[in-house]
Structure 1
Amino acid sequence: MNDWRERIDAAADRCTGLLRRTPLMVSRALWNEQLVEIKLEQMQHTGSFKPRGAFNTLLSQDIPSAGVVAASGGNHGAAVAYAADKLGLRAKIFVPELAGTAKTSLIEQYGAELVVVPGDYGDALAAARDWEAKSGALQVHAYDTPETVEGQGTLFREWEAQGLEADTVLVAVGGGGLIAGAMAWFEGDRKVVAVESAGCPTLATAMKQGVDAEIDVSGAAVNALGARRIGRICHALAVEQLIETTIVSDEAILEAQRLLWQKLRLLVEPAAAVPLAALRSGVYRPEPGERVALLLCGANVEPDPLGTAVA
């Protein structure tokens, strides 16, 4: 698909007034006193980037009377619930047991019907597909539809319009919708680096074994990054653009999460700390003079430290 930027422009127009324009900051406190650009997307509605894809999908489709259904590790479900509530739609969200109460409580607070499924994200997705077939509800996929990728791409369109100067953007990867949005928008004009947790290396595995490769998932970031396989859209873009993949340990992720709080008072979930972990651990080493940017993608820490909802 060679018209991604036009489609992302259209998604941004479609979602006008429904999304926050999340702020930026720069810091020398995180990595070798080097200037790092940061986008604070954890401040988006529901505490993650996911409402971008959710709103674009719901506004792009004819919604049946049965409403919408989604499977989610938590953040996507909260986003679909939030978007459905704002648009006056029924929503049913299937989540795995490992989703955690910080995210499932958001889903319920936004009025969606919540179903907790034994197992991981793949099990929740199977249950959501069964409900889709039974009820006729519209499936809102977490990462592997054009509408989702277009919505996530609005993040990078927005970032560039805000004055992004970095040569390289580090992005966490689960199922691949977020980084697919980055690749779709930048089209190779900036380097995009995929960062995965050691327990959820979906893209790295697929780049070696093929798009249908499936993995077991685990680790500190599993409730956000725990897709068993990479999305086909993400894989196609990654192959086309020869994306660089890096893998970080749970220890590096948790250290980066702590550092973001200690140095910048930014409280984020482990998945959001994954890009910084790549820098801190040295699995990604910028060239001399290379300017780097980090995307902080989510703030729904488990357990919720204050027990409050995110609007």
Structure 2
Amino acid sequence: MTTREDVLAARRRVGALVRRTPVLRVVLPTPGGDVPVALKLEHLQLGGSFKIRGSLNAMLNRDGAHRDSPVVIASGGNAGIAAATAAGMLGIACTVVVPASAPTVKVDRLRALGADVVLDGERYADAYVRASAIAARQGAQQLHAYDLPDVVAGAGTIGLELAEEVPDATTVLVAVGGGGLVAGIAAALAGEKSVVGVEPSGAPTLHAALAAGAPVDVAVDSIAADALGATRLGDIAMDVARRTGIGSVLVEDEAIALARSLLWRDFRLAVEHAAAAPIAALLSGAYAPAEGERIAAVICGANTDPTTLPTD
């Protein structure tokens, strides 16, 4: 459903409209000793997360029926911010439907970007139903936060950059919510590097899908639920996982909080909880690199309340 060729096409389409985010090489303390890690700083991307890559790709590749139409998306925050940012760049009207549980900092950002914000339901699935109704009424292009081919392919451009910037990496750790980011990166790398999804134990969409052999509904209860709060893995992510052998690691909320604190304290990286999940896997030992394994990790977003960062 999404291949390396799709990702290459997305990079040609999006081009210089997005930032080529930097890589920071650090050393992290793990139960097995210090581990060098290359951090892909995608939290410095336009809109504060990786998601603008997919939104722009989808809007630039829209079909004739939606050439002049507005866009609508259901989002817990980051995908909506990305869609609103991309729509503003292209002069397209944008409506974002968010669950009532969405963080105030993200809702305020959406409104500041000029999006029409609609609050509906408690979970992403509720917001998606409302977004679908709005899109049908307006004749709008409906984007999906993680399960749309153009969105996944756009996210995959990060994988192409990693292959060029960190050619020595053998494994890439990626946070997982609905699976669009991990699927895009795995499709882009096409077996060149191992890709491992990291998700909270309280939101195990990928882990549960791999165990069941297909996407299944999961309960969500995690400090990272505002970004990793999907209740079901996307079909595209499942397809790519089967084809490329994406791995799965679960981390506890406590480990995510500690990793987020370390990223701020030691490297002055102000990120949201979701972005700290791959680092939590290393710090806690949930993912233990083998001898000679070289790790890269995607720091996926920074749409967070700065007052919640540690003060030391």
Q: Same fold judged by TM-score > 0.5?
A: yes
Q: Name the aligned partner's letter for residue 161 of structure 2.
A: E
Mapped pair 1:305 → 2:307:
yes
Aligned-residue RMSD, C-alpha:
1.5
Partner residue, 2:42: 41
Please state how far the C-alpha of 1:216 moved relative to its aligned partner. 1.7
Preserved contact between residue 64 and residue 137 of structure 1 (Cα < 8 Å): no
Partner residue, 1:22: 21
1:172-211 equivalences under 5 Å are 172-211=175-214
d(CA) in 1 for partners of 2:120, 2:69: 21
Please state how far the C-alpha of 1:65 moved relative to its aligned partner. 4.5
Please state how far the C-alpha of 1:187 moved relative to its aligned partner. 1.1
1:176-255 equivalences under 5 Å are 176-255=179-258
Aligned-partner SS, 1:94: strand
d(CA) in 2 for partners of 1:157, 1:202: 25
d(CA) in 1 for partners of 2:306, 2:99: 18
Preserved contact between residue 28 and residue 283 of structure 2 (Cα < 8 Å): no
Q: 1:203 to 1:29 in 2, by over 3 A?
A: closer
Preserved contact between residue 64 and residue 136 of structure 1 (Cα < 8 Å): no
Aligned-partner SS, 1:92: strand
d(CA) in 2 for partners of 1:14, 1:66: 19
Please state how far the C-alpha of 1:210 moved relative to its aligned partner. 3.9
1:125-164 equivalences under 5 Å are 125-164=128-167
Please state how far the C-alpha of 1:262 moved relative to its aligned partner. 1.0
Partner residue, 2:7: 8
d(CA) in 1 for partners of 2:68, 2:11: 26
Residue from 109, 119, 127 that aligns with 1:124: 127
Aligned-partner SS, 1:175: coil
**Any idea what the Cα deviations from partners look like across 1:59-101, whole Å, max 9, x if unmatched?**
0003354411000010000000000011000110001122112
Residue from 73, 76, 81 that aligns with 2:76: 73
Partner residue, 2:263: 260
d(CA) in 2 for partners of 1:277, 1:24: 18
Partner residue, 2:108: 105
Preserved contact between residue 143 and residue 176 of structure 1 (Cα < 8 Å): yes
d(CA) in 1 for partners of 2:55, 2:69: 17
User: What's the TM-score, normalizing by structure 1?
Assistant: 0.94
Preserved contact between residue 81 and residue 112 of structure 1 (Cα < 8 Å): yes
d(CA) in 1 for partners of 2:99, 2:29: 33
Q: Name the aligned partner's letter for residue 27 of structure 2.
A: R
- Unpaired runs of 5+ in structure 2? none
**Any idea what the Cα deviations from partners look like across 1:110-130, whole Å, max 9, x if unmatched?**
111001113011111111111
Q: Name the aligned partner's letter for residue 106 of structure 2.
A: K
Mapped pair 1:289 → 2:289:
no
Partner residue, 1:309: none
Residue from 82, 85, 98 that aligns with 2:85: 82
d(CA) in 2 for partners of 1:146, 1:236: 11
Aligned-partner SS, 2:101: helix
Please state how far the C-alpha of 1:172 moved relative to its aligned partner. 0.4
Aligned-partner SS, 2:186: helix
* Residue-pair matches, total: 304
Preserved contact between residue 30 and residue 263 of structure 1 (Cα < 8 Å): no
d(CA) in 2 for partners of 1:278, 1:43: 22
**Any idea what the Cα deviations from partners look like across 1:107-156, whole Å, max 9, x if unmatched?**
11111100111301111111111112222111111111110111001111
**Any idea what the Cα deviations from partners look like across 1:248-275, whole Å, max 9, x if unmatched?**
0000000000011111111110000000
Please state how far the C-alpha of 1:241 moved relative to its aligned partner. 2.3
Aligned-partner SS, 2:307: coil
How much identity, in percent, do the aligned residues show? Answer: 44
Please state how far the C-alpha of 1:164 moved relative to its aligned partner. 3.5
Preserved contact between residue 30 and residue 259 of structure 1 (Cα < 8 Å): no
**Any idea what the Cα deviations from partners look like across 1:228-257, whole Å, max 9, x if unmatched?**
110111101112223221100000000000
d(CA) in 2 for partners of 1:124, 1:266: 31
d(CA) in 1 for partners of 2:243, 2:99: 33
Aligned-partner SS, 1:17: helix
